[in-house]
Amino acid sequence: MASPLILGETRAVTEPATIFVLFGATGDLAARMVLPAFYTLARKNLLPPQWRLIGNGRGDVAHEDFRQKVRDSLEQYGSGVEEDVWQDFSRRLLFAGGGFDESGPGSLLDVIRDVEDELDDEAEPNFVHYLAIPPVAFEQTAKALKQHGLTDRARVVFEKPYGTSPDGFRQLDDTVHEILDEEQIFRIDHFLGKEATQNLHVLRFANQTFAGVWHRDHVAAVQIDVPETLDVANRAAFYDATGALRDMVVTHLIQVAAEVAMEPPLSLGAEDLQQARESVIAAFRPLTPQDVVLGQFEGYRDLEGVADDSRTDTFCAVRLWIDTARWHGVPFLLRTGKRLAVGEQRVSLLLKPVEGPLPTPEEPGAISLSLAGSGSLEADFVLKRPGAGIRLATVRQTLELKDVKDADPLDPYVALLNDVLTGDRSLFTSSAGLEQAWRVVDPILRDKPEPHPYEPGSMGPEAARELAAPTGWLIG
């Protein structure tokens, strides 16, 4: 097991030679997220001294053509290309075409053999297999890795969603565990890799000011709010088979809720953090129809790839209850949706008013973390307005995490890929944790409410406002 990171310590990659195999290397996810993250790791010297990246796909693409595709991705979706870094980076990029399944590995094994002959290392290389492919291909690709002898000394990264139903999750998980040990499996959730999400730990466990209020005696409600202005773009066919509840709530927001709600772990090591998340998710009550509002923006059914009678939810608001002594009776309000008025990613603890001689402020105070970008912390303070008499003023103070001294924030995919390299699974979802997450939403999936129509540019159905009463949503 990897040692937990000591605060203030710089991670040093001391792994042996590593061969990355990127399945789906010419796809949209690889172009937007994965390849720019690999390049950033190289630019920050966070890759092993000896590494190669082999892209895999069904087509036959020459190595030079693949390198050009990677460069195009970096220029379009990344932070650009530095020529001196690119010269070294690009020579390590290769492509293996012809597909990859149990019936045949295409050219992948041949390219791997060529790389192994080229690497200057007496020890056999490690493998990182990154599955940037449609989830329906996870099982067959995992079986093919076993069939072609590529599971030894290997870590396998699965993109989300890891299953699309409780039964589908169990089938996939059983198959994968027949092939890989749990320690080899990295189910990526980029919300857990965000700087502000990671700062939830430090904010709470290293600051007595915040640790003391992290309790139902002081918190009226918790909101995890991720509204999006974007539509489903070119993902309509995928989205229509998934929806907001599956795409965001199960995969991301329940895990973030567990980060807020968990009891203090014994350490910030992977096993202790995962155990703390699993334990509190096991205390989440299964959802009921009274605690869920689904919506669908007007015009969604007119999109290409969407059925004319689609009941897919493009909006979801959830009121979650947690049966622990710390959080009993405190609603956790989760909201996400497409084509909404604003785009945010925010975790907020709405505080109860202080009992005493002063009047209650009109709006509840809050401790709030923005998960967007490098993240920020906001805290409300009720102060005496300077001047004659006692007039109260609520002041909001904001700290941008990128402004912290010596800050070097990492994008979520960069941070998580770095953790894959070092074998640190603390920011990755566990099998047991996901099993519990699917248990929470299972009643709604089995008897799904009809989605409410809502106007694009609004904050979703009116029923979602009622769900958040009496505090209301902080955003919108």
Please check whether residue 126 is in contact with residue 19, taking contact to mean a CB–CB distance below 8 angstroms: yes
**Any binding-site annotation on 228?**
yes
**Any binding-site annotation on 69?**
no
**Any binding-site annotation on 378?**
no
Edge-to-edge, what's the strand order for the sheet holding 452-454? 392-400, 376-384, 366-370, 346-351, 219-227, 332-337, 315-320, 292-297, 452-454
Per the listing, tokens 């944790």 go with 433
Which among 201, 215, 218, 252 is annotated as catalytic? 252
d(CA 404, CA 458): 35
CA 336 vs CA 291, 294, 398, 431, 459: distances in Å: 14, 10, 24, 24, 10
- Tell me phi and psi for residue 473, to 5 degrees: -80, 140
**Any binding-site annotation on 58?**
yes
**Any binding-site annotation on 277?**
no
Question: Which two three-digit tokens encode residue 373?
Answer: 């970008």
Per the listing, tokens 């991705």 go with 73
**Any binding-site annotation on 194?**
yes
**Any binding-site annotation on 247?**
yes
Mark whether 252 is an active-site residue.
yes
List the one residue out of 127, 281, 93 whose CA is nearest residue 189. 281
Binding residues: 58, 160, 190, 194, 228, 247, 338
Binding residues for NADP(+): 58, 160
Tell me which residues are annotated as active site.
Answer: 252
Binding residues for substrate: 190, 194, 228, 247, 338
